């Protein structure tokens, strides 16, 4: 795992803030950080019930809980005080909800991230890793548009940081995390256990497949390797919805009835993790792509060179042209994750 790239004492005595820290990512990151010699893990969220659940679950004095909302500048300012590193996960993530309440997505995913960045830079936080989504690429829904704007705000902020500010800001972008809160597989499993037909939007739709551990690994890769304004992407396989359902049928040894209801509000047929333009500029690692920020200013004539540069042809990186898993491969991927999550 990438966490092994981090020197043993790299996070020693550090104070770390996780925004949206009561979610699936926050819990997984908390577990990972408790294995390091950190001084404090600060959980920032607006959900007092989930904070209380975490307090009882971990029972660890290193974990501190701050109730607040990234929409509220003062509560963010209070949360980032004396912090060394931030993992920014707070967001509105449900596509249909954001379609019906787009201004709520704006307040959290756009204005909220600006609050986090502004106060973090004022507090001289060393590094901020912000979590984005494949839906930010060629967005067709309010959630994706708000996340795309979030990315632009982060890149712009990183570009204008002055030399006296040592804060670094980068972005991770990934697709569906298997068995994370609100993801489709736990919903399918719930229907299977209740003997109800699964509601399917389209059996041919494809989605990237990533475990929560791989999502944490990507964030640590960004933490180690990400420069100001970089976008970091993990190379991920994908599967069709039909294949996922067939695999679940085999895992639970149950015949599954499907009811096709058509695409929901703002739903894509395939997801995209990287545009062809980003692909052209990216650095290719074994398991990751790194998209550097374009650091040029608006005086483009400074960067003009005579002659025509031959441009290589790159494709978008999508859930339809990555490695598509078959039923056997999908089953091997899902089975241990479902067991780990007590399904």
- Do the Cβ atoms of 157 and 117 come closer than 8 Å? yes
Q: Which of 256, 238, 236 is nearest to 246 (CA)?
A: 256
- Do the Cβ atoms of 232 and 218 come closer than 8 Å? yes
> What is the SS3 assignment for 267?
coil
- Do the Cβ atoms of 315 and 279 come closer than 8 Å? yes
Q: What's the token pair of residue 34?
A: 């408790």
> What is the SS3 assignment for 297?
coil
Alpha-carbon dihedral 222, 336, 23, 91, rounded to 10 degrees: 60
Distance, in Å, from the CA atom of 174 to the CA atom of 132, rounded to the nearest integer, reads: 7
DSSP state of 324: B
Catalytic residue positions, numbered: 135
Our CA angle for 1, 231, 212, nearest 5°, is 40
């Amino acid at each position: 795992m990438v966490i092994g790239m981090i020197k043993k004492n790299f996070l020693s005595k550090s104070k770390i803030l996780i925004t949206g820290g009561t979610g699936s990512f926050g819990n997984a990151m908390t577990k990972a950080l408790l294995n390091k010699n950190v001084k404090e893990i600060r959980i920032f969220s607006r959900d007092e019930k989930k904070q209380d659940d975490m307090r009882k679950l971990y029972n660890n004095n290193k974990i501190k809980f701050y109730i607040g909302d990234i929409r509220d500048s003062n509560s963010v300012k209070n949360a980032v005080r004396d912090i060394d590193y931030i993992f920014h996960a707070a967001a509105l993530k449900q596509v249909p909800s954001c379609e019906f309440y787009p201004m709520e997505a704006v307040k959290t995913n756009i204005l909220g991230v600006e609050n986090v960045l502004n106060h973090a830079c004022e507090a001289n936080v060393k590094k901020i890793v912000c979590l984005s989504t494949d839906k930010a690429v060629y967005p067709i829904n309010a959630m994706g548009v708000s996340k795309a704007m979030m990315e632009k705000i982060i890149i712009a902020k990183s570009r204008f940081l002055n030399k006296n500010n040592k804060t670094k800001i980068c972005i991770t972008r990934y697709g569906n995390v298997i068995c994370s809160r609100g993801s489709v597989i736990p919903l399918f499993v719930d229907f299977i256990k209740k003997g109800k037909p699964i509601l399917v939007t389209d059996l041919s739709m494809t989605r990237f497949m990533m475990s929560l551990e791989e999502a944490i690994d990507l964030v640590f890769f960004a933490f180690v390797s990400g420069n100001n304004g970089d976008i970091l992407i993990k190379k991920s396989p994908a599967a069709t919805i039909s294949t996922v359902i067939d695999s679940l049928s085999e895992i639970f040894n149950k015949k599954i009835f499907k009811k096709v209801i058509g695409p929901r509000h703002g739903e894509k047929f395939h997801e995209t993790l990287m545009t062809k333009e980003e692909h052209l500029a990216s650095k290719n690692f074994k398991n990751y792509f790194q998209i550097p920020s374009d650091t040029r200013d608006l005086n483009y004539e400074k960067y003009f060179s005579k002659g025509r540069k031959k441009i290589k042809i790159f494709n978008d990186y999508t859930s339809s042209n990555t490695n598509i898993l078959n039923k056997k491969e999908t089953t091997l991927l899902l089975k241990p994750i479902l067991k780990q999550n007590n399904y």
